[in-house]
């Protein structure tokens, strides 16, 4: 099952992608794809339900993040051996964890905005884990039982903010639009081997990242198990599992995103994202906009 959300911002509707790649509206079944829905009987029922009778959505609507109301977004650093090498850092002995602000989350086709005073904005295609039920002290052997599905994440990063401004990495990871997610939440039954998924990113048509989840240092079950030892994972939480080599920071000379660049990225079986890079029009946000 490939769940999605579609429509204009603040007016998104729930949907799914059928076997013929048509979007079917789920509004008759559920109000939205929320954390509560992922932990409900309706979510389990949909996996085997006949969906051909659901309304078909015409055209090519905007796709939103496939989960509404994400509680927290946990990221894993240096989780591909070859990416750690290109970054000039040691392969970690335990997962490196940091948080990404949920205000960074946007849809898979939304613009990526270069923030004020940013000069080193970078790309990172990543496999995202969407948690389906509350998980705490989860045994590794049962970790998959707590996963609602997988998705594609672009962990956009500002390297100067991240590495040259002191403190932890979060300053370079949490800027607005720095967390495109989607297009789909794909349940595990749709995938043959989550530990052998091709993962890639193209910049202006050039393939710059071309990896496979088999080179992850810590695999999906281990990450769910490990993180649940330190914090409770809730339905709708997202774990972004690290990126393969080919990021701009690792190039000689380093290469960073510029206004007008176009990123296209994907993971086998999980769909494709596409983002245009734009300049920030205004950094002043009024009370009305914040309330939205």
Q: Which domains does the chain have, with CATH numbers?
A: 70-291 (3.90.850.10)
φ/ψ bin of 137: left (φ > 0), alpha (ψ from -120 to 50), beta (otherwise)? left
CA distance 157 to 120: 8
For residue 285, pLDDT beyond 60? no
Q: What is the pLDDT of residues 137-156, one digit of tens each?
A: 999 999 999 999 999 999 99
Predicted confidence at residue 52, as pLDDT, reads 84
What's the average model confidence in pLDDT over 166-179?
Answer: 90
The per-residue pLDDT for range 6-33, each reduced to its tens digit, is 999 999 999 999 999 999 999 998 999 9
Q: What would the mean pLDDT of 68-84 be, rounded to a whole number?
A: 90
Least confident of 1-5, 55-59, 77-81: 77-81
Query: How confident is the model at residue 165, as a pLDDT?
Result: 85
Confidence of residue 93 (pLDDT cuts 50, 70, 90): very high
Q: Judge whether 137 and 229 are in contact, CB under 8 Å.
A: yes
Say whether pTM exceeds 0.85: yes
SS3 content of the chain, % helix, strand, coil (to 5): 20, 30, 50
| Total H helices, total E strands in the chain | 6, 19
- CA distances (Å), 175 to each of 143, 151, 242, in order? 30, 20, 18
* pLDDT value of position 289: 53
Report residue 127's pLDDT band, with 50, 70 and 90 as the boundaries: very high
Better-scored residue on pLDDT, 41 or 290:
41
Give the pLDDT band of residue 88 (cuts 50, 70, 90): confident
Tokens 């994972």 label which residue? 233
């Amino acid at each position: 099952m490939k769940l999605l959300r579609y429509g204009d911002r603040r007016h998104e509707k729930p949907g799914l992608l059928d076997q013929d790649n048509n979007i079917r509206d789920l509004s008759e079944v559920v109000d939205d794809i929320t954390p509560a829905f992922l932990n409900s009987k309706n979510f389990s029922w949909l996996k085997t339900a006949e969906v051909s009778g659901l309304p078909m959505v015409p055209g090519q609507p905007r796709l939103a993040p496939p989960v509404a109301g994400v509680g927290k977004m946990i990221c894993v650093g240096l989780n591909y051996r070859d990416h750690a090498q290109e970054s000039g850092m040691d392969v970690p002995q335990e997962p490196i964890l940091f948080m990404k602000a949920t205000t960074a989350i946007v849809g898979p086709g939304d613009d990526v905005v270069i923030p004020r005073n940013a000069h080193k904005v970078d790309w990172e295609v990543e496999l995202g884990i969407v948690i389906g039920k509350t998980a705490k002290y989860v045994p590794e052997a049962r970790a998959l039982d707590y996963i609602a599905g997988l998705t594609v994440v672009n962990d956009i990063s500002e390297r100067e903010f991240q590495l040259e401004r002191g403190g932890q990495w979060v300053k370079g990871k949490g800027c607005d639009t720095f967390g495109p997610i989607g297009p789909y939440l794909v349940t595990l039954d749709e995938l043959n081997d989550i530990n052998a998924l091709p993962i890639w990113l193209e910049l202006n048509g050039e393939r710059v990242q071309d990896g496979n989840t088999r080179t992850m240092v810590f695999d999906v079950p281990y990450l769910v198990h490990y993180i649940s030892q330190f914090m409770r994972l809730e339905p709708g939480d997202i774990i972004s599992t690290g990126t393969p080599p080919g990021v701009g920071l690792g190039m000689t000379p380093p290469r960073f995103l510029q206004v007008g660049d176009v990123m296209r990225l994907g993971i086998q079986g999980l769909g494709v994202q596409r983002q245009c890079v734009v300049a920030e029009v205004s950094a002043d946000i009024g009370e009305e906009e914040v309330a939205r």
